[in-house]
Structure 1
Amino acid sequence: MIRVLIIDGEGSTSEMLAGCALHLGYDVSMGHTISECLKKVASNPPDVIFIDAELPDGSPLDILDEIHAAPSSPTVIIWADSGTAESAERAIRNGAWDYTRKPASVKEMTACLTRVAQYRREHQSNDGTAEIKRNGIVGNSPTMRASMDMVKRAADSDLNVLITGETGTGKELFALSIHLNSRRSQDNFVVVDCTALPETLVESILFGHSKGAFTGADKAQDGLIRQAHRGTLFLDEMGELPLPLQKTFLRVLQEHRFRPVGGQKEVESDFRLISATNKNLEQMVAEGRFRGDLLYRLGAMTIRLPPLRQHPEDIRDMAVFYVGKVCRRFGVAPKKFSDEFIQYLTRYDWPGNVRELFHVLEHACAAGFHEETLFPVHLPQELRITIARSLFDDDHRAPVGGGNGDRRSAAQQILSLKRFRQTAYSDLEEMYLRNLLTSSAGSIKEACALSRLSRTRLYGLLKKYNIRH
């Protein structure tokens, strides 16, 4: 039986919808606030949630991740009497099934319930995300599960796929996962880095050339597009493809035929295209820097990868995976993590995303090569300083108003602030002492003069941090 949860500030609408759901044989529970919604999701996870966009204690947009994390992965429909375009976009991007105006009649409500129930049945019967070859993609947050669901859909089809996202979000890894889970997995996955294509040789690299086509062409050679025959062609940083070449490539994409440089006959290539970019191609089209007709061809299916700061709950799993990989490469036993180490990682914004996280973890493994456990002190100094500064900057920020979810999140930060502050203070003090000894070439006398510490106090601090001099 399908379990329906209705959260609505207006009794008349919720009672009408409940009546429709009961008539269809569904199990129904009701509430009127965000807090009631979260309690019911935790105690008896529903299959479908109808929730008002405007509730007395907050916005449902702020709790979508918590809702999707429920074991039943509820399908969420947000109703709005007077919503905004921005709210609709945010809801859809964060996994809402729909963001729409409240239905006014029993007929509309019944139709809506029937459609969403049909979707749940068909989606669950065809859900194969558990069997997907992830190929190093780590994370089980609602955000990552949604991304993997898109990978599954893309792999099941042969449509052109456009993957967008900030630098370092793993676009090539997702492209490879699509390829490995597709019917083309036994053939080539050919990567073209559009930023590295030399202007004078770009056509030869992509389309190949015949013998004698240009100076140095002493034999015929297939281009990358031909090498992708029956496989997948991955164009990374598609926004960097030169504008004159975009027209040529558009024809190749339409016909899957092209003429090598200096060739007399056209060559066929049955490839599946996946492209990726960290640029706003729509804006580039408006500015005349990218062809609109090519963009339409590229994005038959679009996958938008979230930045790491939007799913920090995956950081621990990523750390376990990558540190294990690094330890195997180094030939050492797997590392453990102190609680503070993970707290530091989740506190940081990661502007370089997963790529930056992996570089930092590699640094930490090298710094803690002989230790069994990784601590914040093993992280790069600049990252530790950034995090430590942010702890104290929080004290000077005005509190931000918001719903119950915002207040709960803020309370959690206040409860953990002492632990963060103590760790940050200790890290900075130890860093200072080590730099002090380096600057004084190990001379205690000079170190005392530079730091204005007494000899007794300096010795005490060095002993505290087990620093040899």
Structure 2
Amino acid sequence: MPDNAPSKPKPRVLVVDDQQSMCELTKDAIEPHDFSVEWFTDPLEAFAAFQRNQFDVVLTDMQMKGLNGIELCDRIVSSRSDVPVVVMTAFGSMETAIGAIRAGAYDFVTKPLDFEMLALTLGRAVERRDMQQQIRLLSQQVAAARRGSLDQILGESPVMLRLADQVRQIADSEASVLITGESGSGKEMAAQAIHRLSRRSQNTFVALNCAALPESLLESELFGHTKGAFTDASADRQGLFFQADGGTIFLDELGEMPMPMQVKLLRALEQGAARPVGGSDERPFNVRLLTATNRDLEAMVEAGTFREDLFYRINVIQIEMPPLRSRGTDVLILAQHFIDQFARQAERPIGGLSETAAQKLVDYNWPGNVRELRNVIQRAVALTRYDHIAPEDLPEKIRNHRGKQVLIGGEDPAELLPMEAVEARYIQHVLEAVGGNKTTAAKILGFDRKTLYRKLKETK
């Protein structure tokens, strides 16, 4: 940061402890660490001050008169969830500490206090809050700047250029789209891009992870419910299909949907209408359906765990998000995008990757795909001591990664393998590379799926 840049204000800490001596001691101990401290011995007065003023972090004792630490934490989180709360508790009171975390506390510290560690904890809490604010701001800026584009579907590899063309081609169609690909490969971003480029872009995009809800709640989430339909139904609730009316609904992890719910979804799609849980009348909806899965739905159809008629209903158009390991140097384009993003948030002048670090990223196989890369870069930006990302800023598993090879024997004729064994090893290598997706593996190997299943059975 330039020398003439305005100095950043000291983070404001609200300290709450019913012992005045403890408040004064804490203030004297942590203010030299570049904090500004205001303290209260009455938790109710402290909460009133919190509502009137801007604080960056709250440090509260657990046992107090009038309002204990968990109750105060709960009020603060309910009022301003962006302000982290650190709770002080007696040494060894793990149950109390867990209760504070459940109430929304960022962290806890034990008494007697180690003020050096306390200052570090408060500093981390403030940094976390600042980063969250930056992420929200950046998300708004990116959404405004990239509306109508392919958003973060970045890359120059042939497979990504083909994907971008395909997304543009299908955007204005009303056909259902099934997006396949491994976890973390960017399926939801592809769905958002399709929506933004479509005629429905001015209307709502609604997304739901089907694996995140139990079957008993999934129907209500999708189609809504009427008051009194079940125990907790205290009012009518509009389902996602009706919230997305005129727009797009995206159902992620569709392969996790239970069979009975698959029947109800298929009927709603065929009828263009659905009945809320507990309701007597069907209501029409007008949505474009986008779905995604990291599972092999065709194999599930054959196994009887996914309905064939629903599969054909959702699979009018299929696009596949490629795994990051198949995208070559796209990993460096994405890494630079994330470096720019996180460096802005941290207000750090980090320009890019060192040559060695870049090679480490290209060599790694990225089982967690783009999501894993994003986390790695965020960590590296936080840890680096330089104006670039160096190899030592990367996780050990990436620094030490060695690419797998399919071993077929050495030069000694006694070590050479028969063709069947070489083929079996290569098939297994491809399956591992695509995360076990047999449909994708069969395409790479040039087999039909039945041939692949037969060969796998023969090698057992």
TM-score (norm 1): 0.54
Indicate the SS of the match to 2:401: helix
Q: Confirm or deny that 1:178 pairs with 2:172.
A: no
Q: How big is each residue's C-alpha offset from its partner over 1:355-395, in whole Å with a ceiling of 9 and x where there is no partner?
A: 11111111111110x410111111012221224xx59x899
**What residue is the counterpart of 1:363 in the other structure?**
379
**What residue is the counterpart of 1:424 in the other structure?**
none
Aligned length: 267
- Which residue identity lines up with residue 263 of structure 1 in the other structure? G
Q: Which of 357, 369, 378 is 2:393 aligned to? A: 378
**What residue is the counterpart of 2:205 in the other structure?**
189
Q: Specify whether residues 314 and 218 from structure 1 end up closer, same or farther in structure 2 by C-alpha distance, changes over 3 A only.
A: same
Task: Confirm or deny: 8 A CA contact 1:237 1:276 kept in the other structure.
Answer: yes
Task: Confirm or deny: 8 A CA contact 2:225 2:277 kept in the other structure.
Answer: yes
**What residue is the counterpart of 1:96 in the other structure?**
none
Task: Confirm or deny: 8 A CA contact 1:209 1:263 kept in the other structure.
Answer: yes
Identity value in percent: 43
**What residue is the counterpart of 2:293 in the other structure?**
277
Task: Confirm or deny: 8 A CA contact 2:147 2:196 kept in the other structure.
Answer: no
Task: Confirm or deny: 8 A CA contact 2:211 2:256 kept in the other structure.
Answer: yes
Q: Confirm or deny that 1:139 pairs with 2:161.
A: no
Q: How big is each residue's C-alpha offset from its partner over 1:242-279, in whole Å with a ceiling of 9 and x where there is no partner?
A: 10111110011111101001112111110100000011
Q: Confirm or deny that 1:307 pairs with 2:323.
A: yes
Q: Which of 241, 248, 255 is 1:239 aligned to? A: 255
Q: 2:150 and 2:378 mapped to 1: Cα distance?
A: 21
Q: 1:307 and 1:213 mapped to 2: Cα distance?
A: 43
Q: Which of 265, 282, 295 is 2:281 aligned to? A: 265
Q: Specify whether residues 200 and 131 from structure 1 end up closer, same or farther in structure 2 by C-alpha distance, changes over 3 A only.
A: closer
- Which residue identity lines up with residue 218 of structure 1 in the other structure? S
Q: Specify whether residues 334 and 373 from structure 1 end up closer, same or farther in structure 2 by C-alpha distance, changes over 3 A only.
A: closer
Q: Specify whether residues 397 and 229 from structure 1 end up closer, same or farther in structure 2 by C-alpha distance, changes over 3 A only.
A: farther
- Which residue identity lines up with residue 236 of structure 2 in the other structure? A
- State the shift of 1:164 in Å: 0.4
Q: Confirm or deny that 1:204 pairs with 2:220.
A: yes
Q: How big is each residue's C-alpha offset from its partner over 1:212-257, in whole Å with a ceiling of 9 and x where there is no partner?
A: 1122212111011111111111000110011011111001111110
Q: How big is each residue's C-alpha offset from its partner over 1:322-371, in whole Å with a ceiling of 9 and x where there is no partner?
A: 11011112122233221111101001111111111111111111110x41
Task: Confirm or deny: 8 A CA contact 2:339 2:352 kept in the other structure.
Answer: no
Question: How does 1:292-331 map onto structure 2 within 5 Å?
Answer: 292-331=308-347
Q: Confirm or deny that 1:253 pairs with 2:269.
A: yes
- Which residue identity lines up with residue 376 of structure 2 in the other structure? V
Q: Which runs of 4+ in 1 moved over 3 A?
A: 393-399
Q: 2:279 and 2:147 mapped to 1: Cα distance?
A: 44
Q: 2:179 and 2:282 mapped to 1: Cα distance?
A: 30
Indicate the SS of the match to 2:241: helix
**What residue is the counterpart of 2:351 in the other structure?**
335
Indicate the SS of the match to 1:135: coil
Task: Confirm or deny: 8 A CA contact 1:132 1:152 kept in the other structure.
Answer: no
Task: Confirm or deny: 8 A CA contact 1:204 1:223 kept in the other structure.
Answer: yes
- Which residue identity lines up with residue 398 of structure 2 in the other structure? L
Task: Confirm or deny: 8 A CA contact 1:133 1:180 kept in the other structure.
Answer: yes
- State the shift of 1:396 in Å: 11
**What residue is the counterpart of 1:58 in the other structure?**
none
Q: Specify whether residues 148 and 259 from structure 1 end up closer, same or farther in structure 2 by C-alpha distance, changes over 3 A only.
A: same
Q: Specify whether residues 343 and 253 from structure 1 end up closer, same or farther in structure 2 by C-alpha distance, changes over 3 A only.
A: same
Q: Specify whether residues 394 and 160 from structure 1 end up closer, same or farther in structure 2 by C-alpha distance, changes over 3 A only.
A: closer
- Which residue identity lines up with residue 400 of structure 2 in the other structure? I
Q: Specify whether residues 251 and 381 from structure 1 end up closer, same or farther in structure 2 by C-alpha distance, changes over 3 A only.
A: same
Q: 1:398 and 1:298 mapped to 2: Cα distance?
A: 49
- State the shift of 1:199 in Å: 2.3
Q: 1:397 and 1:138 mapped to 2: Cα distance?
A: 40
Q: How big is each residue's C-alpha offset from its partner over 1:154-178, in whole Å with a ceiling of 9 and x where there is no partner?
A: 2021110000011111000000000
CA RMSD, Structure 1 to Structure 2 (Å): 2.3
- State the shift of 1:317 in Å: 0.9
Q: Specify whether residues 367 and 264 from structure 1 end up closer, same or farther in structure 2 by C-alpha distance, changes over 3 A only.
A: same
Q: Specify whether residues 262 and 304 from structure 1 end up closer, same or farther in structure 2 by C-alpha distance, changes over 3 A only.
A: same
**What residue is the counterpart of 1:98 in the other structure?**
none
Task: Confirm or deny: 8 A CA contact 2:178 2:314 kept in the other structure.
Answer: yes
Indicate the SS of the match to 2:266: helix
Q: Specify whether residues 397 and 151 from structure 1 end up closer, same or farther in structure 2 by C-alpha distance, changes over 3 A only.
A: farther
- State the shift of 1:397 in Å: 8.3
**What residue is the counterpart of 2:27 in the other structure?**
none
- Structure 2: runs of 5 or more not aligned: 1-145, 412-460
Task: Confirm or deny: 8 A CA contact 2:361 2:398 kept in the other structure.
Answer: no
- State the shift of 1:198 in Å: 1.8
Q: Specify whether residues 348 and 251 from structure 1 end up closer, same or farther in structure 2 by C-alpha distance, changes over 3 A only.
A: same
**What residue is the counterpart of 1:48 in the other structure?**
none
**What residue is the counterpart of 1:218 in the other structure?**
234
Q: Which of 329, 353, 362 is 1:346 aligned to? A: 362
- State the shift of 1:206 in Å: 1.2
**What residue is the counterpart of 2:177 in the other structure?**
161
**What residue is the counterpart of 1:56 in the other structure?**
none
Indicate the SS of the match to 1:322: helix
Q: 1:233 and 1:265 mapped to 2: Cα distance?
A: 22
- Which residue identity lines up with residue 327 of structure 2 in the other structure? H
Q: 2:348 and 2:153 mapped to 1: Cα distance?
A: 23
Q: How big is each residue's C-alpha offset from its partner over 1:36-68, in whole Å with a ceiling of 9 and x where there is no partner?
A: xxxxxxxxxxxxxxxxxxxxxxxxxxxxxxxxx
Task: Confirm or deny: 8 A CA contact 1:365 1:374 kept in the other structure.
Answer: yes
- State the shift of 1:398 in Å: 5.9
Task: Confirm or deny: 8 A CA contact 1:194 1:236 kept in the other structure.
Answer: yes
- Which residue identity lines up with residue 251 of structure 2 in the other structure? L
Q: 2:333 and 2:204 mapped to 1: Cα distance?
A: 30
Q: 2:406 and 2:270 mapped to 1: Cα distance?
A: 54
- Structure 1: runs of 5 or more not aligned: 1-129, 400-469
- Which residue identity lines up with residue 145 of structure 1 in the other structure? L
